């Protein structure tokens, strides 16, 4: 019997793509419309997968074909979101966020590590005025949605699809342990966006501006609560969860937003591009490089969650002053 190394390497990729509670042979048999015996023969390397079967399994389990040669090649495949000027594409973006968080939660010891050059995207969805502003800003000023071109923030009818997806993303995010790395400029891009909309007249009312800025203050308070207790905090219910939270303040520039989803079974790296969109890869080589980069960033950072009260208060005073400066400008 000849066992081909690429066949076994592919089987290992399939194994890591399927949660441990699922019977792999039965899953493969169902997807490929095979008998259980035929599926077992393929998984043991006794029978070859056809090219069509490999492609079908890759599509079913979101495995890039390039991962078969990830250790021998510097070519890495990324998944990108199809964001466009159409309103429905942003609904799909929110569904991807929700689906990816659900995906990592299937595995044991799941965790999010977030190097935050900007305010992490998940936090926008806890505070209604800030969430509305950010979603309008992204779609109006970044995606250039023609339907929003002549509308101010208050004039935009937020699509039902956006509102339906946000609670799901919020719930999943609160259920996953997180390590975040912030620095003193993490809030500045959001502050600049609000300032830009104020100076260009994209708000109808100062009351709306005040609500957005108040949400930003609440956001900092949420982060401060989490850092103090070492647990995730839900400002909507004003209560802590039992999910671990770790916060570092970085002493060097982070350079880009990077999210690393890790677990015992699967890992994935997410890098930001085009302001708020992201590309994702599960490539082993790239994930290893990302882990090393994050370790180095953490090495150059200070832990302020659960300990270092003085440094923690200093950091949040800096963030609060940045918002107060925006408030005075308004």
- The answer on 84 and 135 residing in a single domain is yes
- What distance lies between CA 48 and its chain's CA centroid? 37
pLDDT at 185: 95
Average pLDDT over residues 204-220: 96
CB of 281 closer than 8 Å to CB of 268: yes
Domain assignment present for 103 = yes
Which range is least confidently modeled, 49-63, 99-113, 300-314? 49-63
Q: List Cβ neighbours of 145 (8 Å cut-off, separation of 6 or more).
A: 85, 86, 87, 139
pLDDT at 7: 80
Q: Is the predicted pLDDT of residue 3 greater than 70, yes or no?
A: no
- The answer on 265 and 173 residing in a single domain is yes
Cβ-in-10-Å burial (0-12, 13-18, 19+) of 3 comes to: exposed
pLDDT at 254: 87
Question: What's the chain look like in SS3?
Answer: CCCCHHHHHHHHHHHHHCCCCCCHHHHHHHHHCCCHHHHHHHHHCCCCCCHHHHHHHHHHHCCCHHHHHCCCCCCCCCEECCCCCCHHHHHHHHHHHHHHHHHHHCCCCCEEEEECCCCCHHHHHHCHHHHHHHHHHHHHHHCCCHHHCCCCHHHCCCCHHHHHHHHHHHHHHHCCCEEEEECCCCCHHHHHHHHHHHHCCCCCCHHHHHHHHHHHHHHHHHHHHHHHHCEEEECCCCEEEEEEEEEEEECCCCCCCEEEEECCCCCEEEEEECCCEEEEECCHHHHHHHHHHHHHHHHCEEECCCCCHHHHHHHHHHHHHHHHHHHHHC
Q: Is the predicted pLDDT of residue 307 greater than 70, yes or no?
A: yes
Q: Is the predicted pLDDT of residue 267 greater than 80, yes or no?
A: yes
- The answer on 90 and 129 residing in a single domain is yes
- The answer on 50 and 141 residing in a single domain is no
**Total domains in the fold of the chain:** 2
pLDDT at 9: 80
- The answer on 204 and 316 residing in a single domain is yes
Q: Is the predicted pLDDT of residue 289 greater than 90, yes or no?
A: yes
Range of the domain at 17: 5-63
- The answer on 147 and 48 residing in a single domain is no
What value, to the nearest 5°, has the Cα angle with vertex 53 and ends 52 and 56?
85
14, 35, 63 - which closes a domain = 63
- The answer on 20 and 83 residing in a single domain is no
- pLDDT tens for 220-229 read 999 999 999 9
The model's confidence at residue 277, banded by pLDDT at 50, 70 and 90, is confident
Q: What is the mean pLDDT of the chain?
A: 90
Average pLDDT over residues 113-128: 93
- The answer on 113 and 19 residing in a single domain is no
The model's confidence at residue 265, banded by pLDDT at 50, 70 and 90, is confident
Average pLDDT over residues 116-122: 94
Q: Is the predicted pLDDT of residue 276 greater than 60, yes or no?
A: yes
What value, to the nearest 5°, has the Cα angle with vertex 202 and ends 197 and 205?
105
Distance CA 193, CA 134 (A): 9
- pLDDT tens for 70-104 read 555 567 888 888 888 887 888 888 999 999 999 99
- The answer on 266 and 180 residing in a single domain is yes
Average pLDDT over residues 44-73: 78
The model's confidence at residue 45, banded by pLDDT at 50, 70 and 90, is confident
- The answer on 88 and 156 residing in a single domain is yes
pLDDT at 68: 66
Average pLDDT over residues 105-114: 93
CB of 282 closer than 8 Å to CB of 271: no
Q: Is the predicted pLDDT of residue 169 greater than 90, yes or no?
A: yes
Which contacts of 30-38 are long-range, i.e. CB under 8 A and separated by 24 or more positions? Answer: 31/56, 31/57, 31/60, 32/56, 32/57
CATH of the domain at 19: 1.10.260
């Amino acid at each position: 019997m000849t066992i081909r190394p690429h066949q076994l390497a592919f089987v290992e990729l399939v194994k890591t793509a399927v949660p441990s509670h699922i019977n792999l042979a039965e899953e493969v048999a169902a997807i490929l419309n095979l008998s259980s015996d035929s599926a077992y023969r393929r998984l043991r390397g006794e029978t070859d997968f056809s090219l069509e079967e490999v492609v079908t399994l890759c599509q079913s389990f979101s495995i890039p074909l390039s991962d078969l040669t990830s250790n021998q090649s510097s070519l890495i495949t990324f998944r990108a979101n199809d964001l466009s000027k159409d309103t429905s594409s942003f609904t799909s973006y929110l569904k991807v966020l929700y689906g990816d968080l659900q995906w990592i939660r299937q595995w044991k010891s799941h965790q999010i590590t977030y190097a935050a050059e900007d305010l992490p995207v998940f936090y926008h969805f806890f505070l209604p005025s800030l969430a509305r502003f950010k979603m309008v800003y992204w779609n109006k000023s970044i995606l250039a949605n023609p339907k929003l071109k002549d509308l101010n923030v208050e004039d935009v009818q937020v699509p039902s699809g956006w509102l339906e997806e946000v609670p799901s993303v919020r719930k999943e995010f609160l259920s996953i342990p997180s390590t975040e790395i912030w620095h003193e400029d993490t809030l500045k891009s959001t502050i600049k966006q609000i300032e830009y909309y104020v100076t260009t007249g994209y708000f109808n009312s100062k009351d709306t501006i005040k609500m957005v800025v108040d949400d930003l203050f609440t956001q900092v308070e949420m982060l401060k609560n989490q850092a103090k207790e070492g647990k995730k905090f839900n400002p909507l219910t004003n209560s802590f969860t039992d999910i671990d939270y770790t916060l570092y303040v970085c002493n060097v520039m982070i350079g880009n937003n990077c999210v690393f989803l890790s677990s015992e079974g699967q890992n994935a790296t997410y890098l930001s591009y085009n302001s708020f969109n992201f590309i994702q890869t599960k490539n082993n080589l790239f994930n290893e490089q990302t882990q090393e980069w994050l370790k180095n960033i953490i090495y150059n950072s200070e832990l302020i969650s659960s300990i270092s009260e003085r440094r923690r208060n200093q950091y949040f005073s800096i963030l609060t002053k940045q918002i107060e400066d925006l408030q005075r400008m308004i």
